[in-house]
Structure 1
């Protein structure tokens, strides 16, 4: 045992005295130290780094918006941050459109004769409204103000609207286009009854230069509706969809008067004479017409008789249809190896009714 230990010590001594082994050990030791120091330095750097705190998402509640004063909002409108400016403008627009007095003041402003004043109020009204708040304008006062603004925007000298290949809508005045924009948006969600009540047809549409004679006006108006595709045609289409709107168009001379529908001649014939073919021949229908009370009783009985005859005809039609379906049912016995003939078709036997 001692001899084995001595031999191992001798071998280890010879390895230690070998320069190659010594240099290899030192190289491995140096590389290990370098890697260890690098790991420690990286860990120390990560721990010593001061990271900026992530901003927390904050939402403006309704209470916060209501607490903001006008002077504060005025200051925020001039902020260098665009998001803050947009949020401030949105808060101001929401406050304005939800304030009935502010909306009424703007509606009053668009009815003034001064063009610049009308334009300022129209633009302010366009800024504060959106599809969600457009219902604030769905009232007769707003429709009347828009129609009045259109009436004030009429040009004394207009070209005749008789050209089917050219649409003049893009060249119209901005006040007209803004008013028509509001009306078109309102009619996309509501009916045209309030617009007709505000006399849109009489005060503006009929005053367009459709022509000199009644025939020219009706022809040019029909041609305009057929060939154009703008907000005016959309509005007129909504107006024509209502009874009062069509009556207004007819009174303005833009549509021909609708002829009364021809009534059925049988409507003026008493029920006793109309269904005399199903009354027994022994009954004198003349006496029934003379007595109103008896005539009314017979009218009621005749209605019941006609209804029973109709139900009977419907049952007979259903029975005939079932018979036709049964006659069409058949079985074809042919595997395709020979031409088809009548012997290969087996029809369903008709069952007794």
Structure 2
């Protein structure tokens, strides 16, 4: 009994406490090791996932794309889009897009429009694979093929920029171009978006008499609501230095001097006449450059105003004495 009294009991308690403390510390250290261990589970899972995606057949993906589960449907659409925009499948899609067979062209247009416009897909990854010269060439070939179909009237809208003969399929091709164009404007210019397509496009203002072909860009800004998609394409092109050069080169945009004339004449009201065959037609008013440039004297006066020089020290109001103009030369 003497062993369990006094100092003996104290030492016994200390020994038991030390035993459990050592076991607890050892257990905690093992947990720390497990938590800090670097594992490669994610990489293995990714490899398995990629292999599974490649093994899925198209029929299976089609069923998954119709699933009620949002995650399954989105995953199936992503796999389909990735397969459709790389390798031989992509080349066949663009080949069908550029061909003149209406059935093949229509299917390619529907597929490409879905790929670039559907929100469930990763638009960035899709567009990155559709921003090369080959893609823009195929799409512009498609748009050029539609030029031959501007025959039958498809709309009754009277507009200087929207032709009444626009084919239905062209609208989808324009939408695709509007989405892809900002991704690579130089590539689209090299493929001929202006030199091969827009310079031949039947804009009503370009076909009118007198022709306002060089005012296409200005009219696109003024009448943009008549053809929002085409106006957006022109906005993208006219925002790029090389686009401006080609628009001016092919006569769809006036020179800088003519644009200044347009700014000076904004106060004057223009009248655009539509359906004016044998009758007076109907008139629509727009604030843009006048249809008639005016007399030769008025043109010369505007030219002299642009060539004037204003000199003033800033200490008093400007007067006629501060304006130096070239002398008027009589012919």
Question: Relative to structure 1, is the Cα distance of residues 63 and 99 closer, same or farther in structure 2, using a 3 angstrom cutoff?
Answer: farther
Which stretch has the larger CA shift, 207-216 or 163-172? 163-172
The runs of 5 or more residues in structure 1 that have no matched partner are: 1-59, 261-353
1:218 correspondence with 2:218: no
In structure 2, distance between residues paired with 1:158 and 1:226: 26
Q: Map Cα deviations across residues 183-202 of structure 1 (whole Å, 9 max, x no partner).
A: 222234x3521111111112
Does the CA contact (< 8 Å) of 2:174 and 2:229 recur in 1? Answer: yes
Does the CA contact (< 8 Å) of 1:150 and 1:175 recur in 2? Answer: no
1:112 deviates by 0.4
1:179 correspondence with 2:165: no
Q: 1:204 aligns with which of 197, 200, 212?
A: 197
1:258 deviates by 4.2
Q: Scaled by the length of structure 2, what TM-score is found?
A: 0.50
The runs of 5 or more residues in structure 2 that have no matched partner are: 1-44, 259-331
In structure 1, distance between residues paired with 2:241 and 2:152: 30
Map of 1:140 onto structure 2? 133
- Secondary structure, in 3 states, of the residue corresponding to 2:207? coil
In structure 2, distance between residues paired with 1:207 and 1:158: 18
Q: 2:250 aligns with which of 249, 252, 255?
A: 252
- Secondary structure, in 3 states, of the residue corresponding to 1:253? coil
1:67 deviates by 2.0
In structure 2, distance between residues paired with 1:104 and 1:235: 25
Q: Map Cα deviations across residues 81-103 of structure 1 (whole Å, 9 max, x no partner).
A: 53387257425414414522211
In structure 2, distance between residues paired with 1:251 and 1:140: 21
Question: Relative to structure 1, is the Cα distance of residues 170 and 214 closer, same or farther in structure 2, using a 3 angstrom cutoff?
Answer: closer
1:110 correspondence with 2:97: yes
Map of 2:236 onto structure 1? 238
1:142 deviates by 0.6
In structure 1, distance between residues paired with 2:210 and 2:159: 22
1:125 deviates by 2.1
- Secondary structure, in 3 states, of the residue corresponding to 1:195? helix
Question: Relative to structure 1, is the Cα distance of residues 120 and 170 closer, same or farther in structure 2, using a 3 angstrom cutoff?
Answer: farther
Question: Relative to structure 1, is the Cα distance of residues 90 and 246 closer, same or farther in structure 2, using a 3 angstrom cutoff?
Answer: same
> Greater CA radius of gyration, 1 or 2?
1
1:233 deviates by 1.1
1:192 correspondence with 2:177: no
1:37-48 alignment, distance < 5 Å: none
RMSD: 3.7
How many residues are matched? 200
1:246 deviates by 1.7
Does the CA contact (< 8 Å) of 1:191 and 1:238 recur in 2? Answer: no
1:24-173 alignment, distance < 5 Å: 63-64=48-49, 66-68=51-53, 72-75=57-60, 77-78=62-63, 81-83=67-69, 86=73, 89-129=76-116, 130=121, 131-132=123-124, 133-154=126-147, 155-157=149-151, 168=162, 172-173=166-167
Question: Relative to structure 1, is the Cα distance of residues 95 and 200 closer, same or farther in structure 2, using a 3 angstrom cutoff?
Answer: closer
Question: Relative to structure 1, is the Cα distance of residues 207 and 87 closer, same or farther in structure 2, using a 3 angstrom cutoff?
Answer: same
In structure 1, distance between residues paired with 2:184 and 2:54: 39
In structure 2, distance between residues paired with 1:172 and 1:103: 28
Map of 1:38 onto structure 2? none
In structure 1, distance between residues paired with 2:164 and 2:129: 28
1:237 deviates by 1.5
In structure 1, distance between residues paired with 2:210 and 2:193: 20
Does the CA contact (< 8 Å) of 1:78 and 1:85 recur in 2? Answer: no
Does the CA contact (< 8 Å) of 2:220 and 2:234 recur in 1? Answer: no
In structure 2, distance between residues paired with 1:257 and 1:152: 30
Map of 2:291 onto structure 1? none
